[in-house]
């Protein structure tokens, strides 16, 4: 006979599965775009948990699309090669030498490691960069900064950094139909074939918009969006989020993530989520439980 502690544990697991079932049914056949980055890409247990979660999605009929970052891995390689790192408003200044390293690390190393890990955990992953199948068309991006002496913004050239202008969804749709999981490195191509380094949050947002995904999930190294008292906000509407920005509650590195969420929502994505990738199985906990673990942002 089972002891009471074991029985309670099993009942708890059954209750969790029961809670998850309506979400599984609602999302079957739907697309979820996940931006994978931060600690979740470094800690071995978190990496294994993420790969397992992504594989599970596919097995229950949900179509996951993963866009990954790789900032720490890029920094490590640049340091080893004594190449200076520079950032402007959180964006990496990318000259030709840096771009070669970025592409080598993201496409040649990080992407293939994620593909291998997902495959190891029962998925069928395929690695892509934005150049494959003309997946990501991009144009050069400039950063605007308040001028010191005038009301006009200062336009800063940060090198070969791009913004997505078009997502070619045919390759993603074909992979999903064949039960493959696309893993996308955030490197795109310009109209003349030039290479651009692109912020992974904005790539994920553009991909989610193009696919009319049900959800965009951004993994971060923070709990989610916090209120003025540093307490987690589980759900926010568009108007509430804009108010928090105006009040200076949402600041710093969270601003571009919120911006990426709004771009996706405005393009038809139903819900966006900013969650803590430092929590094991964070994606499952956010999507398949009533409360979730991070912040859900929707238009209304």
Smallest CA-to-CA distance from 73 within 55, 85, 89, 91 is with 85
CA 160, 162, 165, 167 dihedral sign is positive
Separation in Å, CA 225 to CA 131, 231, 253, 285: 33, 8, 11, 17
State the pTM of this model. Answer: 0.91
The reported pLDDT for the residue numbered 235 is: 93
- Would you place residue 122 in the very low, low, confident or very high pLDDT band (cuts 50, 70, 90)? very high
Smallest CA-to-CA distance from 57 within 281, 278, 231, 243 is with 281
The reported pLDDT for the residue numbered 118 is: 97
Each residue's pLDDT tens digit, 260-289: 999 999 999 999 999 999 999 999 999 998
The reported pLDDT for the residue numbered 155 is: 82
Is 3.40.50.1220 the CATH number for 31-298? Answer: no
- Would you place residue 29 in the very low, low, confident or very high pLDDT band (cuts 50, 70, 90)? very high
- Would you place residue 148 in the very low, low, confident or very high pLDDT band (cuts 50, 70, 90)? low
The reported pLDDT for the residue numbered 17 is: 78
- Examine the pLDDT at 154 and tell me if it is beyond 80: no
- Examine the pLDDT at 238 and tell me if it is beyond 60: yes
Say whether 157 sits in a helix, a strand or coil.
strand
List the structure tokens of 45: 């247990």
The reported pLDDT for the residue numbered 39 is: 86
The reported pLDDT for the residue numbered 149 is: 57
- Examine the pLDDT at 9 and tell me if it is beyond 80: no
- Examine the pLDDT at 176 and tell me if it is beyond 80: yes
Smallest CA-to-CA distance from 161 within 84, 256, 93 is with 93
Question: Which percentage of the chain shows pLDDT scores above 70?
Answer: 97
Per-domain residue ranges of the chain? 31-298
Q: Residues 290-300: what's their mean pLDDT?
A: 90
The DSSP bridge partners found for residue 251 are: none
The reported pLDDT for the residue numbered 150 is: 57
The reported pLDDT for the residue numbered 256 is: 87
Distance, CA of 166 to CA of 198 (rounded, Å): 13
């Amino acid at each position: 006979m089972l002891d009471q502690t074991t029985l309670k544990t099993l009942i708890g697991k059954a209750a969790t599965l029961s809670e998850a079932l309506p979400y599984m049914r609602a999302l079957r056949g739907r697309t979820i775009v996940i931006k994978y980055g931060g600690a979740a890409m470094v800690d071995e247990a978190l990496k294994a948990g993420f790969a397992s979660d992504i594989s599970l999605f596919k097995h229950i009929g949900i179509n996951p699309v993963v866009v990954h970052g790789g900032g720490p891995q890029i920094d490590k390689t640049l340091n080893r090669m004594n190449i200076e790192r520079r950032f402007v408003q959180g964006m990496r200044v990318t000259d030709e030498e840096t771009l070669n390293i970025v592409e080598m690390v993201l496409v040649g190393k990080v992407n293939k490691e994620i593909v291998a890990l997902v495959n190891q955990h029962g998925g069928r992953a395929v690695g892509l960069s934005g150049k494959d199948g003309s997946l990501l068309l991009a144009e050069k991006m400039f950063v605007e900064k308040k001028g010191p002496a005038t009301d006009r913004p200062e336009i800063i050239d940060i090198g070969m950094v791009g913004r997505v202008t078009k997502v070619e969804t045919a390759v993603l749709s074909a992979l999903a139909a064949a039960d493959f999981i696309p893993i996308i490195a955030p490197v795109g191509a310009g109209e003349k074939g030039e290479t651009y380094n692109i912020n992974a949050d904005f790539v994920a947002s553009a991909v989610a918009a193009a696919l009319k995904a049900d959800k965009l999930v951004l993994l971060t190294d923070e709990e989610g969006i916090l209120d003025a008292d540093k307490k987690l906000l589980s759900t926010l509407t568009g108007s509430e989020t804009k108010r928090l920005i105006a009040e200076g509650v949402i600041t710093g590195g969270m601003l571009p993530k919120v911006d990426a969420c709004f771009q996706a929502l405005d393009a038809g994505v139903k819900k966006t989520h900013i969650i803590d990738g430092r929590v094991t199985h964070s994606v499952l906990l956010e999507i398949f439980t009533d409360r979730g673990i991070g912040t859900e942002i929707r238009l209304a």
